[in-house]
Amino acid sequence: MKTPTFATVALLLLTAAAAGAQQSADPSGVWLRDDGNARVRIAPCGNDICATNLWIGDTSKGEAAGDVLVMSLKPKSADTLSGSAYDKKRDRTYSITVQVSDGALLTRGCILGGVLCRNVRWKSAQ
């Protein structure tokens, strides 16, 4: 049996790393906010990911069904995506982190350079 060369081993490691890098967390699906006040569909929209309100219970804070948050996310780790989110209705951009686990999401949105942040937990509606 032939011993693999350094170049062969390096090529195999790079191929494995590239395959692992292509697999990232996928937040797609229908989600229920932990306070029971929202049902949201997360799905690809062009090169981005859109979170669309399907149902809002308490509309007193200005949220409504049909509102869309457009997220530009990149993998941060195997279970976490990070980037920015644009809320057209409020004309506001947030930094956002989305952590995906089995049947759950944790989102963290921040404004003012990370000075004001809010965590929201979601469970799968499917």
Residues 91-101 pLDDT 10s: 999 999 999 99
pLDDT tens digits for range 28-75: 999 999 999 999 999 999 999 999 999 999 998 899 999 999 999 999
Mean pLDDT of the chain: 84
DSSP strand pairing (29-33 vs 38-45): antiparallel
CA distance 36 to 85: 22
Contacts 24+ apart (CB under 8 A), 38-47: 38/63, 39/125, 40/122, 45/70, 47/72
Say if residue 106's pLDDT is above 90: yes
CA distance 123 to 56: 15
Percent of residues, the chain, with pLDDT higher than 70: 82
CA distance 82 to 93: 13
What does the pLDDT read at residue 9? 32
What does the pLDDT read at residue 2? 47
